[in-house]
Amino acid sequence: MNLPFLITGPCAAESEEQVISTARLLFEKVEMQGFHIHYFRTGIWKPRSNPKSFKGVGEKAFLWLQRVEKEFGFKVCVEVATPEHVVCCEKYGIKNVWIGSRTSVNPFMVEELANAMKEKDFTVMVKNPIISDLALWKGAIERFLTNNISNVMAIHRGVADSNENIFRNAPIWEIPIELKVAYPNIPLLCDISHIAGHRKYLRQIAQIALDLGFDGLMAEIHAHPQTALSDAQQQITPKELYQLLSELHFKQLSTSPIEKMLQKERNMIEHIDTQIAQLLQKRWKTIDRIAQIKRDNNIQIVNAKQFNKIKNIYTQYLTEDRLSAEFIRQYLELLHYTSIQRQKEL
């Protein structure tokens, strides 16, 4: 089964050989194997956090993308962050663009971009802001809609989160679900690469998105991910993308509104539990490292002060619900007992 939308390509255009070889492999290993690629994506200008990081090759990459369009028939899309970028896209006939999370967080920049594309035949894909703010995301989308840009899509890429998280960016799935409710006719895609942060989580994120009713996926693909100049850990090869897509389950949602709501909530619980299991595994590994440090330095195993600190953390999130409070109490006792036993074994 094909995705309604599949957007894929390298994180950044690094060289002509890299762009063309990646496009060729995507054509051979994905497109020709039955999964239609709607857009070939790549970064021309890269807004890196570190100014010393690879920042893209700029305008010359458009010539490579024109080859991609001509030789493989892919529509191409790039990220734009300034009106000058929009002018450059028009110069080379590129009318498919996305707005990055570092741009969508700034209403002034979004306004300038929307004005630069006003009443023009652009397809605009708006990523959610880098912070958890649904109103900002809606506002960015509205700015393009009010400028008579009819081809607008939304892309969920997670949000920056300082809390412990197994993914690069916290998914906070409630945000895109609420956006879909507000804009049911706007396609909603999931940028699995930027949420995952590592290739080992890509399939999991993709399946969650499909289960929650997303309309498609965006994924970063590289002919040789290990040599990528940016985001190497989250990129995979075209062959690996085909394997990932082949393993996904496309669930048919019930036509009943009540059953549809129930199924989405059940899917949410299923994937919350998956993340809890992964975080527990991460916790056990941390406990093992602590045990080794204590053993090597002759430090006692039990630390009541630390356990009370953990209890206080959970207390912050407790409700007045008696059953929830009892569950947390029993859970913490078992958690503490298991942690001690693991340390004793080591």
Confidence at residue 261, expressed as pLDDT on a 0 to 100 scale: 72
Query: Would you place residue 318 in the very low, low, confident or very high pLDDT band (cuts 50, 70, 90)?
Result: low
Q: What is the chain's mean pLDDT, rounded?
A: 90
Q: Tell me: pLDDT of 305 over 70.
A: yes
- pTM attached to this predicted model: 0.79
Domain ranges of the chain: 5-247, 257-345
Distances (CA, A) of 188 to 22, 126, 336: 25, 10, 42
Give the pLDDT confidence score for residue 254 in this predicted structure. Answer: 55
pLDDT for 251: 65
The mean pLDDT value for 131-156 works out to 96
- Angstrom distances, CA of residue 158 to CA of 53, 91, 195, 197, 204: 22, 32, 5, 10, 14
Task: Specify whether the CB–CB gap between 340 and 302 falls below 8 A.
Answer: yes
pLDDT tens sequence across 149-195: 989 999 999 999 866 678 999 999 999 999 998 999 999 999 999 99
Q: What is the mean pLDDT of residues 193-204?
A: 95
pLDDT at 344: 80
Higher pLDDT, residue 52 or 203: 203
More confident residue, 15 or 336: 15
Model pLDDT, residue 43:
96
Q: For the residues of 121-184, what is the DSSP string, one character each?
A: --EEEEEPPSSS-HHHHHHHHHHHHTTT--EEEEEE--B---S--SSSSB--THHHHHHHHH-T
Q: Which CATH class is domain 257-345?
A: mainly alpha
- Grade residue 18 by pLDDT with cuts at 50, 70 and 90: very high
39: left (phi over 0), alpha (psi -120 to 50) or beta: beta
Tell me: domain 5-247, CATH 3.30.70.20, correct?
no
Same fold, 5-247 and 257-345: no
% of the chain exceeding 90 in pLDDT: 63
Q: Tell me how far apart the alpha carbons of residues 92 and 95 are, in angstroms, rounded to a whole number.
A: 9
Residue holding tokens 């690629």?
37
- If phi > 0 it is left, if psi is from -120 to 50 it is alpha, else beta; for residue 188 that is beta
Contact of 159 with 170, CB cutoff 8 Å: yes
Q: Which residue has the higher pLDDT, 342 or 30?
A: 30
Query: pLDDT tens for residues 77-111?
Result: 999 999 999 999 999 999 999 999 999 999 999 99
Pick from 275, 305, 300: nearest CA to 290: 300
More confident residue, 250 or 197: 197
For the segment 239-264, the average pLDDT, to the nearest whole number, is 80
8 A C-beta contact, residue 234 and residue 198: yes
> Which helix (DSSP H) or strand (DSSP E) does residue 39 occupy?
strand 39-41
Residue 191: beta bridge partners? Answer: 218
Give the pLDDT mean for 62-67: 97
- pLDDT band at 32; cut points 50, 70, 90: very high
Percentage of the residues of the chain whose pLDDT score is greater than 70:
95
Say what the pLDDT of residue 83 is: 97
Which residue, 16, 31, 123, is CA-closest to 72? 31
